[in-house]
């Protein structure tokens, strides 16, 4: 649900000159203050081959229909790519043709098999299994969740709907540093021009509290609740339910390039929410009970997300619809986009009123169809839970260790 846009890059001579004049300033700002998330290690080989028999591939707990849908969506992504496009898959560089063959083979086995056990036996015979090295020597991966929120809103501003959700401003620049040298390959900076300089783009404070974008026509919709607006940005997409009952779907379009500041950590460090009770619901509850603290807490996170109106979806970073329970977000710099994977984790057990009674272990085939600013390193996975109250509760409370495996068809 963090659909990335291919921003236009100004390649004129003037822009190149401006870039070099201000590169030092932007690099300094990109490092960010010490309050932001600690940098994660970037392993040379984030995936290691393991024996297929070591993974309980017969444990899948969801319907086959959702799995077929998710696989077909990843195939749509691969169909748009040239056949010689390479994906880093552990120690191998795999062409898109083999990535497609992996999904096509798996889909055929899924249709032919009569049980998860039969499918697992076939997968062990025909596929190579790689495990993420995770975040520690036990190869643990921390799983969190996300969902598609629904917020009441309006296309026009009034005394009730006072808080705007912005589209991408015209002055937002995204500079691909790879164009200026191989050592910058894969990195970019976001900023704006100020006279003959490129400077960091406006922070959350600048936009939300100083009104730097107000009245310039970038408002897509207006909402009544600033807390729900904040969580919409965290999720990366959502639906706005209008007064007439119609819906407007918003998708991630761009970010302001500022570093992410985890407000959950701030609330723990200040002793406002105990670490063991931390969840999205706990943060939401605290903010609504202490509206006078919202500005200070929101300002801890200077990053800002801009949206666009979209049809269909919600979409991930490979521009295909996400499938509830079957789509995951990982670090797109480490793991192959669109790839078939298998996860082992915990899921909530609900009472009829939506209260979580406990957690049970599960296994599941998933597709790597998304990424996120906080999903960094080989030890993080975000599981998409869909929409609705149960999706919100599950996504808000999932913070459990598990394992991540990727599957690749044998040559």
pLDDT for position 218: 97
pTM of the full structure: 0.74
Query: What is the structure's pLDDT at 40?
Result: 58
No. of H helices and E strands in the chain? Answer: 10, 19
Evaluate whether 21 touches 358 at the Cβ level (below 8 Å).
no
Report residues of the chain scoring pLDDT below 70: 1-43
Phi, psi dihedral angles at 202 (to 5 degrees):
-55, 145
Length of the chain in terms of residues written: 411
pLDDT tens per residue across span 87-133: 988 788 999 999 999 999 999 999 999 999 999 999 999 999 999 99
Domains recognised in the chain with CATH numbers = 45-261+301-409 (2.40.240.50)
What is the reported pLDDT for 91? Answer: 81
For residue 34, report the phi and psi dihedrals to the nearest 5 degrees: -70, -15
pLDDT for 34 = 33
CA atoms within 13 A on the CB side of 59: 15
Instruction: Assign 398 to helix, strand or coil.
Output: coil
For residue range 45-64, list pLDDT tens digits in order: 899 999 999 999 999 999 99
In this prediction, residue 42 carries a pLDDT of 60
């Amino acid at each position: 649900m963090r659909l990335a846009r291919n921003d236009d890059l100004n390649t004129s001579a003037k822009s190149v000159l401006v870039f070099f004049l201000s590169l030092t300033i932007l690099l300094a700002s990109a490092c960010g203050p010490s309050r932001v998330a600690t940098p994660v290690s970037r392993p040379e080989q984030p995936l290691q081959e393991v024996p297929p028999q070591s993974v309980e591939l017969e444990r899948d707990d969801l319907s086959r229909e959702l799995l077929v849908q998710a696989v077909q969506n990843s195939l749509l992504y691969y169909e748009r790519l040239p056949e010689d496009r390479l994906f880093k898959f552990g120690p191998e560089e795999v062409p898109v043709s083999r990535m497609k063959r992996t999904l096509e083979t798996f889909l055929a086995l899924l249709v032919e098999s009569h049980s998860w056990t039969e499918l697992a036996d076939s997968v062990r015979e025909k596929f190579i299994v790689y495990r993420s090295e995770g975040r520690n020597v036990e190869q643990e991966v921390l799983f969190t969740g996300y969902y598609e929120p629904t917020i009441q809103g309006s296309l026009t501003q009034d005394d009730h709907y006072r808080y705007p959700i912005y589209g991408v401003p015209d002055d937002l620049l995204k500079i691909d540093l790879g164009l200026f040298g191989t050592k910058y390959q894969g990195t970019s900076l976001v900023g704006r021009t100020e006279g003959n300089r490129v400077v960091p783009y406006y922070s959350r404070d600048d936009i939300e509290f100083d009104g730097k974008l107000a009245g310039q026509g970038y408002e897509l919709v207006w909402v009544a609740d600033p807390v729900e607006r904040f969580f919409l940005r965290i999720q990366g997409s959502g639906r706005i339910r209008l007064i007439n009952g119609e819906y407007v779907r918003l998708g991630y379009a761009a970010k302001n390039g500022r570093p992410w500041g985890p407000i959950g950590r701030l609330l723990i460090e200040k002793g406002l929410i105990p670490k063991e009770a931390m969840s999205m619901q706990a943060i939401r509850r605290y903010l609504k009970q202490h509206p006078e603290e919202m500005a200070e807490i929101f300002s801890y996170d200077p990053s800002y997300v801009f949206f666009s109106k979209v049809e269909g979806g919600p979409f991930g970073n490979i521009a295909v619809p996400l499938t509830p329970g079957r789509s995951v977000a990982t670090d797109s710099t480490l793991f192959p986009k669109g790839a078939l994977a298998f996860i082992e984790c915990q899921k909530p057990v609900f009472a009829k009123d939506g209260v979580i009674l406990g957690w049970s272990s599960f296994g599941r085939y998933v597709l790597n169809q998304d990424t996120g600013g906080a999903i960094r390193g080989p030890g993080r996975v975000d599981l998409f839970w869909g929409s609705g109250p149960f999706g919100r509760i599950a996504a808000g409370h999932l913070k459990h260790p598990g394992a991540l495996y990727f599957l690749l068809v044998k040559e």
